[in-house]
Amino acid sequence: MAIIRFLGTGSGYPHPDRGSSSVLVEGTDGALLIDAGEGCARRLAEEVLWKQEIRTILLTHAHADHSAGLPMLLNGMKADRRTSPLELIAPMGLLEGWESFLPAIRLGEDRLTFPLELRELKPGRYNTSSGHKLDAWTNDHLPADREGRGGSYSLAVEIESEKWVFSGDLGSLEPLEGKLDRAAGLVVETRHVDPNQAVQLAKKAGIGTILLTHISADQDTPPIDDAIWAWDNLVVYTRDSGKSI
């Protein structure tokens, strides 16, 4: 059984009840954190999960609502005197940005108590240090630069033999087409695409669990059949646990 926990379900503008994008996925060798929006460290502390071993952090793209919580996570790990390595996967450009900025806030490699292993996010398959197999592909939210660096990514993650798709930020639903086959769950952002159309696409692919996230303070969240609007600290169980949400 694995748990998927939403730490932040808001988007790029401060929301009184929602942190920015962040989802924690349990794994065999530690947890995988998909995006580290502001407030993710606080949510972990709130749920007494702070001590849970995050082994891999994957940032889907450069926007601040997906990455600005990283420094406080690292700061907390340093204060705990963590020693085990932490894998940080992100598009090049963002990765280089953090590499030069972290020393300025006293979180460079000479200050951290643990190795920070930087790994470029590019289209393709990965075995993460957290024990997950995942497939990453670019979508149309944020263009890559001329060298093909940067961009925004969607992911298919194998979680306890179930396939879960996490959309990342989108420009349209097109990048998800053909990627949803045999998926047990879809976590889809709704700031930049129509949630009803996203749900239709997921239902056409036979997906059983559809979670809508990345919600702005000014966004309506009317009930949608067969889908759930995610909220911070929502916990979702993989199928073999006999529980669901």
Which positions touch Zn ion (CB under 5 A)?
Answer: 63, 65, 169
The DSSP code sequence of the chain is --EEEEEE-B-SS--SS--SSEEEE--TTSEEEE---TTHHHHHHHTT-TTS-EEEEE--SS-HHHHTTHHHHHHHHHHTT--S-EEEEE-TTHHHHHHHHGGGGT-STTT-SS-EEEEE--SEEEE-TTS-EEEEEE-SSS-B-TTS-B--EEEEEEETTEEEEE--S-SSSGGGTTS-TT-SEEEEE-SSS-HHHHHHHHHHTT-SEEEEE-B-TT------TT-EE--TT-EEE-GGGS---
* Nearest CB to Zn ion, comparing residues 11 and 238: 11
* Nearest CB to Zn ion, comparing residues 150 and 185: 150
Least gap, CB of 164 to Zn ion (angstroms): 19
* Nearest CB to Zn ion, comparing residues 32 and 193: 193
* Nearest CB to Zn ion, comparing residues 65 and 160: 65
* Nearest CB to Zn ion, comparing residues 41 and 62: 62
Task: Identify the residue whose tokens are 């692919």.
Answer: 205
* Nearest CB to Zn ion, comparing residues 36 and 116: 36
Which residues does residue 34 pair with via DSSP β-bridges, in sequence order?
Answer: 23, 58
Between strands 235-237 and 31-34, the pairing is unpaired
CA distance 138 to 150: 9
Least gap, CB of 15 to Zn ion (angstroms): 12
Least gap, CB of 153 to Zn ion (angstroms): 11
Least gap, CB of 12 to Zn ion (angstroms): 5
Least gap, CB of 170 to Zn ion (angstroms): 9
* Nearest CB to Zn ion, comparing residues 26 and 65: 65
For the chain, give the number of residues.
Answer: 245
